Structure 1
Amino acid sequence: MRAINMKISVFLQRAAFLLLLVGGVISLSGTVFGQTTETLRSEIEKRNSLILELEKEIKGYESRLNALDKEAKTLQNTVGQIELTEKKLQTDIRLTEQRIAAASRNITTLTGEIEDKNAGIEKNSAAISEIVRRVHELESETLVEILLREDSFSVFWDTVESLGQLQANVHKTVKELQTLKVSLEEKRTLRTKEKEEHVSLAERLVDQKELETANRKSKLALLKETKNQESNYKKILSEKQALKEALEREIRDFESQIQLEIDPNSLPQIGALLRWPVDNVSITQYFGNTPFASQNPQVYNGGGHNGIDLRAPNGTIIRAAANGVVTDTGDTDRACDGASYGKWVLIRHYNNLSTLYAHLSLIRAEPGQEVKIGDVIGYSGNTGYSTGPHLHFTVYAASAVRVTDEYRSKVCGTYLKLPLSPRNGYLNPLSYLPGIR
């Protein structure tokens, strides 16, 4: 009898110890690679605070650049704009560096938490398995047998009650384990997202440094071209504007000769099928300007502006307006400097629309590349004919637009590679974009 009591007592003591162990390992250890999680979180909070300060500083630069953009186009103002852009780009770089560091810390913290949770799951599982094994051993002696052999009912009921509490605690621990496993998967998902963000930020940092270098070179080129003389600057501006207008007329005449019937049923219904290609939306020039365009806002007739212009300081991220495939990319400045789209990207979407992104400073898309809505495809700039950094955004009926490098411009005296479309192939972008909040 004493042997049985001793067996039960020893079992309950060991079970209690195992449950204490279980409770102790569910919580995090609080240490990640030699640093407490509190220390890591404190560092992350400090970086987030610095990130907010840098974002505020960038907004200040953008506000000043917008104000300069509205002033007269003088050499002094243009140089000032380039210098202010350089400060903004440098701050962009600092911001991205801080975001990379914050992402690294987040990854470290999440990795530590994942390891702790894995360890907790393993130890809890082992403890529960041991308890179950010992319960099975104890059950080889039935309660009836124990009752018949006990000297008193009180010892029997104490044993039964202890076993019941043990069973309840095991049940509770199993539930906690299930919660722990769910939390583990959530942490793994968060870490995957942080790693993807880290890669994206590292790529952006490379781009931003390239943009800063190009911006600095543009200032030197401008001063060299104008010989730092306002009169030379005005003359160059006038010549570029005349070239741009002549090329536009030439292209418009050429496109008017393209005969292509577009099935209206092939066009998607008007609605928010596209996203804005910039995160902060401000329209500086609208689509078309003719009575026909007003009466038929979805279709362009060749008069006025064949897209919309969006305010986008140099280096602004440009995103794909919808899922699709990159039709082609190009740079008209290579053949006819300062007269047309400059660096551009054309995307054909799965909804029978195509979109053009022009005046880019840097292209981050390749022909044939599949893109998803919101993907980075480039950065805004001032290439081609542009009185200031912005994004020119055009929407076409996908079946109507073609990229050709066989168009010989009499105005430029060379072949140009650019998208061309009949007049009825141009669509009003606002017909397919969401309203501005």
Structure 2
Amino acid sequence: MLFVFLKNKSLAESFTEQQSILNLNEDLAVEIESLHTLTTNLASTLDETEQKKKEEAQEAKTLSYRLSLAAEEREQKKEFLTQTKNQEKIYQEELKELEAQQSEISSEIEKIEDELRRSFDVTLLPLERPGILLWPVPLATSGGQGRITQHFGERSNLYRGKPHNGLDIGAPIGTPVIAADDGIVIGVDNNDNSWRKYQYGKYVLIEHKTNLTTLYAHLSKQVVSKGDSVKRGDIIGYVGNTGYSTGPHLHFGVYWRDSIIMKSIPPAKGLVPVGVVIDAEKYL
């Protein structure tokens, strides 16, 4: 500033030049702020565009899967009709046999769960509060497609009057199912035996650091593998009607992590997860 005063012939010229410099600095500050705002807006727009691309890609993937699933279902129906030769009597006999076999499987699971429950220590579980787990299929009330069709502990003829060991969420076949929390996939299996449907059908089992393990059953497709690390909200499969099921829905089970055992219970194929079950809604 002193240089400005000394180099000019008059005080008026010095003040005029000083004011010009101040005005220039102010203009530069405004331009810099505008540039910063533009950069921020551009970054935000790019983020939104990238997110939209991801969402569109996922929607396209889901649509493609639903189309392939429709073809798979036609093949399954064709196989079933071939097996029964369209004879109603054979069909009814097969249903009765499946019901009897499923009843035996359920009884075996109940016995094991009762034994495991004796060593259950409730203090090892996280405090019951909302938000510990995400809804694996968002409900229609929050913008999703799911609806609760049966709560934990409810009794029905389908389970021989026994308490239901999970939370059923009805949704269209092909609806994405997401991981309720961060964890490691410890089970991916299918209990169905050809067109004969048993227990959980296609399922995914995830172990969490909260001393909980979550089960996602009756899926039409699993998109993770055993040993995978998943994040809260990751898609792990799609709603289906596999296993012992009367309609498209997700059976969501929550277990005390340390109680889980994988049991072979013929005629169900693969392994059936068994453990101490907990009311999922206390953590959702």
TM > 0.5 fold call: yes
SS in 2 for 1:365: coil
The amino acid of 1:286's aligned partner reads H
Flag the 1:314–1:285 CA change in 2: closer, same or farther, 3 A.
Answer: same
Give, in angstroms, the shift of residue 328 of structure 1.
Answer: 0.8
Out of 159, 163, 185, the residue aligned to residue 304 of structure 1 is 163
Out of 385, 405, 417, the residue aligned to residue 271 of structure 2 is 417
Unaligned 5+ residue runs, structure 1? 1-138, 291-301
* Percentage of matched positions with identical amino acids: 35
Flag the 1:224–1:348 CA change in 2: closer, same or farther, 3 A.
Answer: same
Give, in angstroms, the shift of residue 357 of structure 1.
Answer: 1.1
Give, in angstroms, the shift of residue 408 of structure 1.
Answer: 5.0
2-structure distance, mates of 1:199, 1:324:
25
Flag the 1:344–1:167 CA change in 2: closer, same or farther, 3 A.
Answer: closer
2-structure distance, mates of 1:430, 1:172:
54
Flag the 1:142–1:276 CA change in 2: closer, same or farther, 3 A.
Answer: closer
Flag the 1:269–1:160 CA change in 2: closer, same or farther, 3 A.
Answer: closer
| 1:212 aligned residue | 70
| 2:187 aligned residue | 328
Q: What's the CA shift string for 1:92-146, capped at 9, x where partnerless? A: xxxxxxxxxxxxxxxxxxxxxxxxxxxxxxxxxxxxxxxxxxxxxxx99845433
Give, in angstroms, the shift of residue 226 of structure 1.
Answer: 4.4
Q: Does 1:284 align with 2:149?
A: yes
The amino acid of 1:212's aligned partner reads A
Alignment of 1:40-55 (within 5 A): none
Out of 39, 43, 59, the residue aligned to residue 185 of structure 1 is 43
Alignment of 1:379-418 (within 5 A): 379-404=238-263, 407=264, 409=266, 412=267, 416-418=270-272
Q: Is the 2:192–2:269 Cα contact (8 Å) retained in structure 1?
A: no
Q: Does 1:341 align with 2:200?
A: yes
| 2:158 aligned residue | none
Alignment TM-score, normalising by the size of structure 1: 0.55
2-structure distance, mates of 1:255, 1:158:
90
Alignment of 1:30-69 (within 5 A): none
Out of 189, 193, 209, the residue aligned to residue 350 of structure 1 is 209
Out of 87, 91, 94, the residue aligned to residue 236 of structure 1 is 94
| 2:107 aligned residue | 249
The amino acid of 1:358's aligned partner reads A
RMSD (Å), alpha carbons: 3.1
Flag the 1:166–1:352 CA change in 2: closer, same or farther, 3 A.
Answer: same
2-structure distance, mates of 1:196, 1:337:
37
Q: What's the CA shift string for 1:41-61, capped at 9, x where partnerless? A: xxxxxxxxxxxxxxxxxxxxx
Alignment of 1:352-367 (within 5 A): 352-367=211-226
For this pair of structures, how many residues does the alignment match? Answer: 272
Flag the 1:415–1:212 CA change in 2: closer, same or farther, 3 A.
Answer: closer
Out of 265, 274, 291, the residue aligned to residue 123 of structure 2 is 265
2-structure distance, mates of 1:430, 1:142:
75
Q: Is the 1:260–1:400 Cα contact (8 Å) retained in structure 2?
A: no
Q: Which has the higher strand share?
A: 2
Flag the 1:374–1:156 CA change in 2: closer, same or farther, 3 A.
Answer: closer
2-structure distance, mates of 1:336, 1:213:
15
Alignment TM-score, normalising by the size of structure 2: 0.81
The amino acid of 1:428's aligned partner reads D
Unaligned 5+ residue runs, structure 2? 140-145, 156-160
| 2:9 aligned residue | 147
SS in 2 for 1:310: strand
Flag the 1:360–1:158 CA change in 2: closer, same or farther, 3 A.
Answer: same
Give, in angstroms, the shift of residue 353 of structure 1.
Answer: 0.8
2-structure distance, mates of 1:248, 1:380:
22
Give, in angstroms, the shift of residue 265 of structure 1.
Answer: 1.5
Q: Which has the higher contact order (CA 8 A, sep 6+)?
A: 2
Q: Which entry has the higher C-alpha Rg, 1 or 2?
A: 1
Give, in angstroms, the shift of residue 323 of structure 1.
Answer: 1.6
Give, in angstroms, the shift of residue 398 of structure 1.
Answer: 0.5
| 2:143 aligned residue | none
Q: What's the CA shift string for 1:213-269, capped at 9, x where partnerless? A: 223323433443444454444343333222211221233334445576122211122
2-structure distance, mates of 1:170, 1:183:
20
2-structure distance, mates of 1:270, 1:141:
72
Q: What's the CA shift string for 1:62-109, capped at 9, x where partnerless? A: xxxxxxxxxxxxxxxxxxxxxxxxxxxxxxxxxxxxxxxxxxxxxxxx
